[in-house]
Amino acid sequence: MKIIDSFPQIAPVFADGGFSLEAWRRYAAAISPELPEKAEADAAEYDFSREILPVLEEFYRSPDRAARAHASFQKAVQGISERFCSALGSAPEADVVFYLGLCSGAGWATALGGRPVVLLGIEKIVELGWEREADMAVLLCHELGHLWHFEMRTAPAWGETPAARALWQLYTEGMAVYIQQKLFGGRYFYSQDRGGWLAWCGENRARLSAEFQRRVDAGESTQDFFGDWCAFEGRSDTGYYLGAELVHALAEKRTARQLADLGQKEIYGMLAALQKE
């Protein structure tokens, strides 16, 4: 596993006291020639001046928080391969990049140069307040968990229907949470647990499951359950909790490698089962 720490190279992006897209492109290209185009394509659906630039400017105005995030990253990557091998029997063949992104996410499991990579965006990490060592470790384990899952999976794809995509997102995010909890923090450790988030999710687990299933059946969007910019009844990221509950329930009779090959019907069936418990 290769660790790429580009934090020391960020300063020139703000050389004149403000964010320079051209300077950022040079900075990102030094990490990977593919990165500028990839990040800009991902950001294209958002209003740059209204939704992205303010996050970058706030990062620039928060040097102490940025430094804490960087220090937490340096600690989180220590022994990460060994931690995976101890908990799951193997570590993903991947690179980890700590960088200034364009708000593509605090963590992004993707590929660059034909190689799996985890991109950790410091601007989103600072925005979300995830500078603590524990939050950084969870984020890193979660994104690498995605790559471990995809590396281990041998079962066929589920297809591209709205139902398949919604259930696949629920399953893969739940699997990543399951892995992060095996590696760090335990069953009920969530970075999102602020303001009674976890207690609310637990009290409403059956209703969350029923509403997710209803939307799948109706062909409606399930985006409200995922992402800090979305919310279901005022709570963000409830899909991560729901997905983890599904995977933990299925893990009672399966190994981690067996969990990596679950099918669409198994996930849908567990949605119904959670409503009865």
Long-range contacts of 227-230 (CB under 8 A, 24+ apart): 228/128
Tokens 């997102």 sit at which residue?
Answer: 169
In a structure prediction context, what are the per-residue pLDDT tens digits for the chain, which is 277 residues long?
A: 999 999 999 999 999 899 999 999 999 999 999 999 999 999 999 999 999 999 999 999 999 999 999 999 999 999 999 999 999 999 999 999 999 999 999 999 999 999 999 999 999 999 999 999 999 999 999 999 999 999 999 998 898 999 999 999 999 999 999 999 999 878 888 888 889 999 999 999 999 999 999 999 999 999 999 987 788 998 999 999 999 999 999 999 999 999 999 999 999 999 999 998 6
Q: Write down the pLDDT at residue 227.
A: 82
Whole-structure pTM value: 0.92
Q: Write down the pLDDT at residue 231.
A: 87
Residue extents of the structural domains in the chain: 2-152, 162-274
With residue 95 as reference, give the H or E element that holds it.
strand 95-99
Q: How far is CA 265 from CA 19, 105, 111, 162, 232, in A?
A: 47, 30, 29, 14, 24
Q: Write down the pLDDT at residue 277.
A: 64
- Both tokens of 162, joined, read 């709205």
Q: CA 74 to CA 137: how far, in whole Å?
A: 10
Q: CA 73 to CA 206: how far, in whole Å?
A: 36
